[in-house]
């Protein structure tokens, strides 16, 4: 291989390492062999990402999107001040889109950090430069919410915002496609419907993918292929430990919004057992009497899915008929039809329900500033990062908000895990703890969203090995054309095979 690099000292002895993994003579020999095989695994993946990033960096943009003066005017008109993190992210995006090269940037920020405002500035910039922007969200509820937010923000400035989702009628979809193809629609917000075959853009200049971990790389790519090398902005409200980010987002430039907008109060979090149920019910009544609203999240949809687990359907019935007959109790869960879910969430947003009993369908993107209390039943059934996401549904207004974790667990480790959430609202610290406790395979609740299927390497144990692997990969991938060297043909074949496997798992 080329030049001195960590790979040179690690590459010797692969057959020996394989033998030692199966028939070690000592634990030291086993660990040395495991590290050697972990390096091999992490090196290949790092090489794949390094090559992809090199291609991104070398890809010339067919158009330059300049930081339009009206973007600064838009920011000035806002009824709130941007945080320093938001300003820095907008600056990074403007620099990328004006560089002459294709932008591939991730904006990562905790729940409520204001990523949508950053994306709005980027979309406005694209539109003012004569290009279309496509904003893809993972659910219809979230897409509709983004469309309302962006319409209110950019509509008065002359931007035509259009919503395209699978729930539209055939006639509505046809009319929407015509507006997109003609260029009349300038900012198109939608779900996976945006990547369907019949959707053709007039001049797609920017693609925004929200909650990026819920999309596969292949889906993201299909949307960018609808334009002529458009800029790409992906957003995630799931804080990821740096260790995992090196793997999950190794092909992207990253901007982090670390602070919350001014005026937001940290959500107070408490862990309680069933023994405090009556006090909790009194607290719920108090919040509702004060004109506020309450979420109650259950881990199951219906009774019988697993013993001792609260179900959304059964618990909603109990709250409605027995516990709070004087209050208005709504229900939403993932098995309901889209129209039913939308109706329930819209009614809650409009204040028609005091309490909304739900599953994790409310985990992402549901914004009801009047909701001040999140009660999570059987909290031990959720990962820390998921609990943090659910907690982020409250605290979105100016009133003090609360999150109550209800758990009857006797397991001391589980109690410590839940108590850790009560002690901090820093999503990145919580993510580090979640990674250590649950491992990378469970981090997003699914292996389908671009994470490598590591057989030997451990992202908790092998951080130093990962750094060595990335350094070695960088030594090999010095240009986008590096892997085309004849002597690297076997290596290129293994990298392409890895990407092929990843793409299959992402579809």
Count of CB atoms situated within 10 Å of the CB of 237 = 25
- Helical pair 14-22 and 27-58, crossing angle rounded to 10 deg: 130
Cα–Cα distance for residue pair 397/411, rounded to 1 Å:
35
How many Å apart are CA 313 and CA 301, to the nearest integer? 6
Cβ neighbours for 83, distance < 8 A, ≥ 6 positions apart:
113, 114, 257, 259, 260, 261, 262
Contact 186, 132 (CB under 8 A): yes
- Nearest in space to 432 (alpha carbons), one of 456, 409, 463, 406: 463
Q: Single out the residue of 4, 3, 10, 1 nearest to residue 464, CA to CA.
A: 10
Distance CA 128, CA 350 (A): 34
Rounded-to-integer distance, Cα 296 and Cα 288, Å? 13
How far is residue 300's CA from residue 298's CA, in Å, rounded to a whole number? 6
Contact call for residues 51 and 73 (beta carbons, < 8 A)? no
d(CA 439, CA 384): 12
Determine the Cα–Cα distance for residues 431 and 467; give it in Å rounded to an integer. Answer: 20
424 closest CA partner among 284, 269, 275, 300: 269
Beta bridge partners of 204: 132
**The tokens 């602070």 sit on which residue?**
259
Query: What is residue 231's three-state secondary structure?
Result: strand
CA 396, CA 263: separation in Å to the nearest integer? 10
Per-position pLDDT tens, the chain of length 507: 444 444 444 444 778 888 888 888 889 888 888 888 888 888 887 887 777 777 666 666 666 666 667 677 667 766 677 888 888 998 899 888 888 888 888 888 877 778 888 999 999 999 999 999 999 988 787 888 899 989 998 998 899 999 998 878 899 999 999 999 999 999 999 988 999 888 999 999 999 998 755 555 667 778 888 988 899 998 887 666 666 666 666 667 888 887 777 767 889 999 999 999 999 999 999 999 999 999 999 999 887 656 668 899 999 999 999 999 999 999 999 888 878 888 898 899 999 999 999 998 887 667 899 999 999 999 999 888 789 889 989 988 889 999 999 998 899 888 988 998 999 888 777 877 776 666 554 444 433 344 556 678 766 667 678 878 888 888 888 776 778 788 888 888 887 776 555 443 332
Q: What is the pLDDT of residue 162?
A: 97
96's CB contacts (< 8 A; 6+ apart) are 103, 105, 231, 253
Q: How far apart are CA 67 and CA 64, in angstroms?
A: 10
What tokens were used for 297? 């999240």
Cα 209–chain centre separation: 9
CB distance 488 to 482 below 8 Å:
yes
Structure tokens at 495: 């990298």
């Amino acid at each position: 291989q080329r030049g001195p690099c960590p790979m040179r000292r690690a590459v010797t002895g692969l057959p020996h390492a394989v033998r030692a993994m199966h028939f070690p003579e000592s634990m030291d020999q086993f660990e040395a062999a495991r590290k050697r095989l972990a390096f091999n695994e992490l090196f290949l993946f790092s090489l794949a990402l390094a090559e992809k990033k090199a291609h991104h960096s070398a890809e010339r943009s067919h158009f330059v999107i300049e930081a339009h003066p009206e973007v600064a005017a838009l920011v000035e008109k806002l009824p709130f001040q941007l945080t320093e993190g938001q300003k820095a992210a907008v600056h990074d995006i403007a620099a990328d889109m004006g560089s002459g090269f294709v932008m591939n940037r991730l904006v990562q920020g905790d729940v409520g950090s204001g990523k949508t405002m950053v994306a709005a500035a980027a979309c406005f910039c694209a539109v003012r430069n004569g290009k279309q922007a496509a904003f893809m969200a993972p659910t219809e509820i979230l897409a509709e919410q983004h469309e309302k937010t962006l319409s209110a923000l950019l509509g008065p400035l002359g931007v035509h915002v259009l919503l395209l989702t699978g729930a539209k009628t055939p006639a509505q979809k046809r009319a929407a496609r015509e507006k997109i193809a003609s260029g009349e629609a300038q900012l198109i917000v939608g779900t996976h419907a945006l990547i369907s075959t019949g959707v053709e853009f007039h001049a797609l200049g920017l693609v925004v993918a929200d909650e990026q971990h819920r999309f596969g790389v292949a889906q993201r790519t299909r949307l960018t292929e609808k334009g002529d090398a458009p800029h790409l902005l992906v957003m995630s409200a799931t804080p990821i430990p740096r260790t995992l980010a090196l793997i999950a987002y190794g092909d992207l430039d990253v901007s982090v919004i670390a602070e919350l907008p001014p005026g937001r109060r940290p959500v107070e979090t408490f862990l309680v057992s069933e023994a405090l149920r009556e006090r909790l019910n009194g607290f719920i009544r108090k919040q509702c009497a004060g004109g506020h609203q309450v979420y109650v999240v259950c881990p199951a949809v219906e009774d019988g899915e697993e013993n001792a687990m609260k179900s959304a359907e059964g618990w909603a019935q109990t709250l409605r008929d027995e516990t709070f007959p004087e209050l208005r109790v709504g229900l939403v869960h993932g098995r309901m039809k889209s129209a039913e879910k939308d109706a329930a969430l819209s009614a809650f947003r409009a204040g028609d329900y005091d309490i909304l009993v739900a599953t994790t369908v409310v985990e992402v993107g549901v914004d009801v500033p009047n909701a001040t209390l999140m009660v999570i039943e059987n909290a031990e059934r959720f990962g820390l990062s998921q609990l943090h996401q659910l907690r982020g549904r409250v605290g979105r207004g100016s009133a003090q908000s609360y999150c109550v974790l209800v758990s009857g667990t006797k397991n001391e480790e589980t109690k410590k895990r839940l108590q850790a959430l009560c002690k901090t609202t820093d999503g990145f610290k919580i993510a580090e703890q979640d990674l250590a406790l649950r491992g990378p395979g469970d981090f997003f609740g699914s292996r389908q969203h671009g994470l490598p299927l590591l057989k030997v390497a451990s992202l908790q144990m092998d951080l130093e090995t990962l750094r060595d692997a990335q350094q070695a990969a960088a030594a090999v991938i010095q240009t986008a054309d590096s892997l085309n060297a004849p002597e690297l043909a076997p290596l290129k074949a293994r990298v392409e095979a890895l990407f092929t496997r990843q793409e299959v798992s992402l579809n």
